Structures are given as structure tokens and as C-alpha cells.
Amino acid sequence: MMSKQPQFTIFVVFLGLLLCFPSAGKCKTALSKTLSPYFFIENEDAAVEQFPLKSTHATVNINGVIADVVIRQTYANDGPQPINARYIFPASTRAAVHGMTMTIGETIIKAQIKERKLAQQTFDTAKKQGKSASLLKQQRPNVFTMSVANIMPGDTIAIELHYTELLVPTDGVYEFVYPTVVGPRYSDQPAANAPEIDRWIKNPYLKQGVASPTAFDIDVNLVAGMELQEAVCTSHDTDITWEDKTMARIKLKNTEKQGGDRDFILRYRLAGQKINSGLILQRGQDENFFLMMVQPPARVKPTDLPPREYIFVVDISGSMNGFPLNTAKKLLTRLIGNLQAKDRFNVILFAGSSKIMASSSLPATSDNIRQAVHLIERQRGGGGTRLYSALKKGMDLPKDENSSRTILIVTDGYIGAEKEVFRLIQKNLNKTNVFAFGIGSSVNRYLIEGMAKSGQGEPFIVTKPSDAGQVARQFQDYVQSPVLTNISIKYDGFDAYDIEPISIPDLFAQRPVIVFGKWRGVLKGTIQVDGVSGDGNYTHDFKVADHTPRETGQTLSYLWARKRIARLSDFNVQKGNAENQAEITNMGLTYNLLTAYTSFVGVHEVVRNPKAKAKNVTQPLPLPKHVSNLAVGGGTCSNTPEPELTVLLVLAVMIVIGMRRYRRSKHAFGI
């Protein structure tokens, strides 16, 4: 009989090996060194309220083509000690945020717009003095941070945000989107020296399948001003009540109180596929504004199209695993499979790195198409998201000067370096059109829409698998020919200035021509829109005197300012950063708007926490619907064993099993 000494020796050796791997059995620290999201650890401190945001309620009033939105966030401290809460949340990329209030008991505090650093100083001072305060900052045009200081035990604090946005129809369909959750962003920036505006990326997330403890609700009052053909919510279960043929109310069903893990999407059409076009004038104390929306001509397909080259840049990172990547495969299979014989194409796959199908684009033969489809179908999501290098690789491919190049980007947009991508697209406008497909229940619309705007293209977004076929058909119809080219606008006798946009690109979709501006003097003259459509010259004009200006409200001033700020900050590469910053800051202060350089801050001028001691709490976010844990990449203190530890455990088990078999063999032979 063999003694237990050899097995004990093996165990001691195994422990020694463990000591050789200091990371084994511990949480990795690499993620803490970069701006990587991480998983929330339940019951980290049982004495602290870990989920102070109790509910979010949005009230939406759509009047014609303008949506007015009030968001009410309710924070409460059910724990025994004061807390300082921080929450990351999204909004529409077109939102002009122009108001905020904080309510504590019966006291309502109206927040003030201030230069970003000054607002932060005001908030920090109030927090140190033991005063309750709130601070709203923009991290991206569609990502905001709400901080609330000195929430006392038993407190309930309500924050209301007010924003306005313009709804623009495509192919006769109006769409209102209310984003509910910010998806995890990939970033390899070192956390130690990351700029303040990027630090929000390092945020805790709940694991896949864990419901958010924050209730979500939304009410929409739709007043179209014209007869509605239909109104439907494609994302949530809703009850729709029709007041008359022009008005409807949309409410979530009771089963959707946990619907805050995906975008709320409402689509509606006007009777006869009409577009609510026209001229809106607004008279103010210091400035007057106008909004012109012109319905485009009907699409006419030309008989002679130039050869086309399509480069498909496809995200296969961890956050695309599951529904997004499966949907991308179906989408790309359809798009590539329908290319014409004279077309050429290529495929670039990217995650932490990128790989390309061919060194130059290939003819769209049946063999090449099968090869591309097979390549795409083999992919499994994993790794980070490095879009920039993949996109640059596509831009740098050799190009046939006689063909029209289009890059189609397929991603959920969970990256942190959006502006670098926008700049790359803009630098290549003279040779490449860019279209963006966003796939996921809560995509980064700032990136998806920004890429399309930068490339003078159109964004397409698929929020569920059943939409993929329809969106693919829309894209195919869309890129075949422009609706209107060589667009120009003339102001004859109408004193218009500060026009946005400065120039209008070709229209590929059935979308109206939209122009914002200011006016002065007497209301007279005409505004004329000229262009070339598929069947010849196109002209549409407005007689200004036929339209009565609105004497109240500031809606158009907010929308005009947001449009200009977007051009200056989101996509502009012409001006220097310092010049842009000064102009954007001044506009934010002048028009009372949240921007990258202006913030809203509210202070309750009562010392409620004399010791000024409070626990900092960052509200964990739920993963967007259909997004797996791979989007976060394991986070902090995952329950998964370290790779080194796993290998050692397997090795130790194999050694022990081998020793036991050796003992049995010795016994069998009488040794």
C-alpha cells in the first residue's frame, strides 16, 4: 500500500505554483488602470443605499414636428447615512437641453446654466458645506451625468430636465426615440490621466439578466396638426388612445415598468404619406428665428448608374455577441448577396484588431460573395472595439476613380473615441460616402448618426432581429440614386442670416430639406429651394408674408442654437479647439443650453449635512437588452477563475488521477 505522502507532496507543490502567479485567485487590476466598465458587486456595503435612482418618468408632447420632453428622475436614500449620487443616462442626439429644476420637499430650486468648470466648483463648494445640490454635465451630445450631493437618510429628491428636439421624417415616417440606457463603451485610455469628460466610461454595470431596480415610464401626447394614418410603438407594449384623427396618447402597459433597458421608439405617418412641411417664424425680444422644411421630390431611379464599390466594416467585438452579431450576419448576407455584377466589394472585420478579406476590392461574383458570406458567418463576438483603425484601413484601399465608393459600417457603437472617427470620415468626403448601421436595442446613436452626418450619408438602426430584412431593403433602395442634388437656397427680399446648415448635401432619402436661421426687418420676399432631381430641375418657394410669426416661446432659438453647436463641436474639423470652445461656451450661456462646456447647477441654500460626510455612490446601469456580459469583459472580481488558476487546477487533478492509477497498477501486479 502506497502512503499518502506523495499526494501530500503534490498538494504542497501545487500551493507553491499558486504563489508563483500573484494574480491567481484575485481580481485582475488591469481594468482598474484603463477606462473600462466593470460589473457591480452586490452588497459591497450593506449600510449604503446602492441604488438611489428609484424611477425615471418622461412626459413627451409632440406638436407638429417638434417634441417637447420633460424627464423626472426621483432619487431617494433608504440607507442610514448621507450619500452623494452619480448617474449616467442618455438622451436624443438632437436634444436641446434648456432647463433643470431640483425639488426637495416643498422647495423647488431652478438650476442655473454656468461655464462647466464654474458649475463644478459651485457644486463642489455646496457639497463641502453640507448643502444639497445637483449638477448636470454633458459627456457626449447624447450622454449626460447627473450628480446629486448630500441626499440625507429618508430624503426624496426629484430632478426635472427639459429638452426640445426636431422630428425629421424619412420616406414619410416620423420617428421619436427616447434612449433609456447607456451601453458600455470600450476604451483603452489609462484611467490615471484620462480627461474628465471621458471618465464616465468607467461605470459599473449589472450583469446580463439582472433587472434594474429603477422603474421606467413614459407618456406621449401626439398632436400632428394633420390627419394621422397610423402611430405605433415598435419597442414596448403600449396602449394607444385616439383623441381624434389628428391626436393620440401613447402610454406604457403595466408590464413594461422595467422597460428601461432599450430605446423607446414611436413611429407615425400622416395621411396620404404627406410630410408636415412649411415655414415657421418666431419673433423674439432680441432675435427672430425661422425653420423651413421642404418636402423633396418623388424618387426617380436613373437608368444609367456608375459602377459602385461597397466596403463593409463589421464590428465583431464582445458587445456584438449574440443578437447584434447574428443580426449583422443576416443583414450583410442579404446586402452582399444582392450586389450587381458590375459592383466591387470588400469586408473588414474589427474588434481589438482588424482583418480584411482582400487587399483590394473584389468583383461581386457568386464565388466571391459566397466567400464573404462564409467569412462573416464564422465570426463569434469577443474583444474590444477599435473602429478607427479598421475604418482607416478601408479608406486607404486602392480606389477606381470611375466608381462610386461607399463604406457601410455595422456596429452597436460602444466605443469612446467618436470624434476621431468623425474627423477621419470628413477628411475623406471627396472620395467616400459613409453609411452607418447600428444594431442593438440601445445603440450609441451619437456615433451612428454622427458617422452618417460626417459622411453626408444616412444612419440605419436595427433594434430587433425581425427588422433586419426591412432595413436592408431600405438601404438598397436608398443608395441606388439621390433624390435631389446640387441643392441651393436663395433669399429674395427676406433678410435672413446665420443660416444652418451652411451647405446642404445631396439627398439620398425621402427626407425634407431643413434650414434654420435668423431674420430681421419686415416680413417680405421669398425663400426659394432649387436642385436637380431624377427627372430634371426642381424648385420650391415660400412667400414669407403668407406666414404669421409666433410671438411667444423660445423653441426655435433652442433648435437653431443646438444645430450650430452640433456643427461646431460634433463634426467640425475646420476651427481650432480653443476657438470652438469659446464660441460654444458663449452660445450655451446665451441660449441657456447644456453643452460640452456649459452645465446646469442647482443649490439648496440650507446646510442639511453639517458634518459634510457622505458616501459616494455611482448608480449601476443595466446592460441593454440582448447585450451579453462580454460587452463588459468580466469586469471587476468576476466569478470566473483566472486562466492561470484554471490551468493549475486541471494540472493538479491530472497528476492526482495519474498517481491513483499508478497505485492501482502496482497493486494489480502485486508490487
- How many other C-beta atoms lie within 10 A of the C-beta of residue 574? 9
Domain contains 631: no
Same structural domain, 318 and 296: no
Domain contains 292: yes
Q: In the prediction, which pLDDT does 474 show? A: 78
| Residue 485, C-alpha cell as written in the block | 442634388
Domain contains 428: yes
The residues with which 311 forms a beta bridge, in sequence order, are: 346, 407
Same structural domain, 362 and 386: yes
Domain contains 397: yes
Mean pLDDT of 511-520: 91
Same structural domain, 186 and 221: yes
Q: In the prediction, which pLDDT does 132 show? A: 97
Domain contains 108: yes
| Residue 519, C-alpha cell as written in the block | 431674420
Mean pLDDT of 11-32: 47
Same structural domain, 546 and 495: yes
Domain contains 196: yes
Distance CA 265, CA 71 (A): 16
Same structural domain, 162 and 236: yes
Same structural domain, 326 and 262: no
Distance CA 100, CA 159 (A): 7
Domain contains 586: no
Highest average pLDDT, of 345-359, 368-382, 414-428, 574-588, comes from: 345-359
Q: In the prediction, which pLDDT does 467 show? A: 80
Q: In what order do the strands lie in the sheet with 173-178?
A: 173-178, 264-270, 228-233
Same structural domain, 251 and 338: no
Q: In the prediction, which pLDDT does 486 show? A: 78
> 510 pLDDT band (50/70/90 cuts)?
confident
pLDDT single digits (tens) 282-315 = 998 899 999 999 888 776 554 445 677 889 898 8
Same structural domain, 296 and 354: no
Q: How far apart are the first and last CA of the chain?
A: 9
Same structural domain, 569 and 611: no
Same structural domain, 492 and 445: no
Same structural domain, 17 and 110: no
Same structural domain, 415 and 291: no
pLDDT single digits (tens) 104-113 = 999 999 999 9
- How many other C-beta atoms lie within 10 A of the C-beta of residue 360? 12
Q: In the prediction, which pLDDT does 420 show? A: 83
Q: What is the CATH number of the domain that holds 84?
A: 2.60.40.1730
Which one of 431, 458, 480 terminates a domain? 480
Q: Which domain holds residue 14?
A: 5-25+645-668
Q: At what angle do helices 468-480 and 323-337 cross, to 10 degrees?
A: 40
Q: In what order do the strands lie in the sheet with 278-283?
A: 278-283, 288-294, 513-519, 496-500
Domain contains 106: yes
Q: Specify the range with the lowest mean pLDDT, choosing from 67-71, 130-134, 393-397, 432-436.
A: 432-436
Burial class (CB in 10 A: 0-12, 13-18, 19+), 36: buried
Q: What is the CATH number of the domain that holds 521?
A: 2.60.40
Domain count, the chain: 4
Q: What is the CATH number of the domain that holds 369?
A: 3.40.50.410
